[in-house]
């Protein structure tokens, strides 16, 4: 890694939470991770351009990019720690290990429509699980996220994560619990309106109001995702965020899956795995800037959403081809009446 790339990584890594400290919500951690990878890529490109012999061309100064607005807003969120370290599922802490390397399967656009139609029909036929305004969506996941130590191989921090997502975010706070952290996310302060609007857009009541025509829905989702970026990759990741830690109304869920099939650049990966190694088939997209592929993994028979896997599809400054950067396996999902409840078995 070049000295400039190391400097970029070090400065951005300083904005990431320490392994034992508070973490950002999942989508905001994604924004920062994306920004880190994009900055390193920009430095690589600039280094190559400056090293190439080009007579008469003046040397350009590197541009240092600001942290994205959505992520900066997340950094300003107030939060409250509950007493005692968070523990989930009997786990006593996180596990830090070298990032695994997986085989990069060839993805195909040919099966996208058929896969997502099967997933959509499964969603439409599923029982409605309405979520009241004073309730919470509870999700428990086995999760791994990237720990980028400058000058060292990429590592993953693995732990159990629980979220209680408020259905009335203006007045009632959500909760994040994982080893070392038990955080109540407060209402955003002045200037954080984009974050609050995002939370309001993802309540069960708001999701029920979304268009069910896939084309109209895709246009609406693109507009909603624009607070963090305008690329097709941002749109794909925004859709993934709706799926991962929400409960979707059946008709809305079906429409979201059909809309996802229309995002440019999506492919089907026939042999995929979630964060617990459960096999499935994935809807995937590769970020052209960072060369990171994100896979939304579904059970190949039931078409239930299993989890997420992300990895590099070619060698980069962060790691070699196939290096895993993020994992998720959804273990439990339900509706509860308080931030202290878990769904009845």
Rounded mean pLDDT for each run of 10 residues along the chain, 345 residues in total? 51 41 43 52 51 40 25 34 38 80 95 98 94 96 85 87 92 89 65 62 92 96 78 93 94 98 98 96 96 97 97 93 96 96 91
What are the b/e assignments for 161-188, b being 16+ CB within 10 Å?
bbbbbbbbbeeebbbbbbbbbbbbbebb
Structure tokens given for 317: 């400054």
pLDDT of 177: 93
Residue in the block written with tokens 């979304």: 210
pLDDT of 89: 41
User: Measured in whole angstroms, how far is the alpha carbon of residue 50 from the centre of its chain?
Assistant: 34
- pTM, two decimals, is 0.76
Residues 6+ apart with CB under 8 A from 271: 105, 279, 281
Structure tokens given for 54: 């080009």
List of E strands, the chain: 79-81, 95-98, 136-147, 155-166, 174-178, 181-185, 267-273, 279-286, 292-298, 305-312, 324-336
């Amino acid at each position: 890694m070049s000295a400039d790339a190391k400097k970029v990584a070090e400065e951005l890594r300083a904005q990431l939470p320490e392994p034992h400290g508070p973490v950002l919500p999942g989508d905001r951690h994604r924004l920062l991770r994306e920004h880190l990878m994009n900055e390193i890529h920009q430095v690589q490109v600039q280094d190559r351009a400056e090293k190439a012999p080009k007579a008469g061309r003046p040397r350009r100064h590197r541009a240092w990019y600001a942290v994205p607005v959505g992520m900066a807003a997340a950094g300003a969120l107030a939060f409250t720690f509950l007493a005692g370290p968070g523990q989930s599922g009997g786990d006593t802490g996180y596990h830090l290990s070298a990032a695994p390397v997986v085989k990069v399967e060839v993805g195909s656009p040919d099966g996208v429509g058929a896969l997502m139609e099967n997933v959509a029909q499964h969603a439409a036929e599923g029982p409605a699980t309405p979520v009241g305004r004073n309730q919470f969506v509870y999700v428990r996941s086995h999760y791994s996220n990237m720990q980028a130590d400058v000058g060292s191989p990429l590592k993953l921090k693995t732990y159990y994560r629980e979220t209680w997502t408020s259905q009335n975010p203006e007045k009632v706070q959500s909760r994040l619990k994982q080893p070392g952290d038990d955080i109540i996310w407060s209402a955003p302060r002045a200037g954080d309106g984009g974050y609050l609007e995002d939370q309001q857009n993802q309540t069960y009541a708001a999701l029920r109001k979304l268009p069910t025509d896939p084309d109209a829905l895709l246009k609406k989702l693109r507009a909603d995702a624009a607070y963090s970026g305008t690329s097709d990759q941002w749109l794909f990741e925004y859709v993934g965020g709706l799926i991962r830690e929400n409960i979707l109304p059946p008709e809305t869920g079906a429409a979201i899956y059909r809309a996802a099939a229309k995002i440019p650049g999506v492919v089907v990966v026939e042999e995929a795995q979630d964060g617990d190694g459960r096999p499935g088939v994935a809807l995937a997209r590769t970020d052209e800037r960072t060369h990171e592929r994100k896979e939304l993994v579904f059970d190949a028979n039931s078409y239930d959403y299993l989890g997420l896997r992300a990895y590099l599809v070619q060698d980069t400054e962060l790691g070699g081809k196939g290096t895993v950067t993020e994992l998720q396996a959804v273990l439990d999902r339900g509706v509860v009446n308080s931030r202290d409840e878990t769904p009845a078995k």
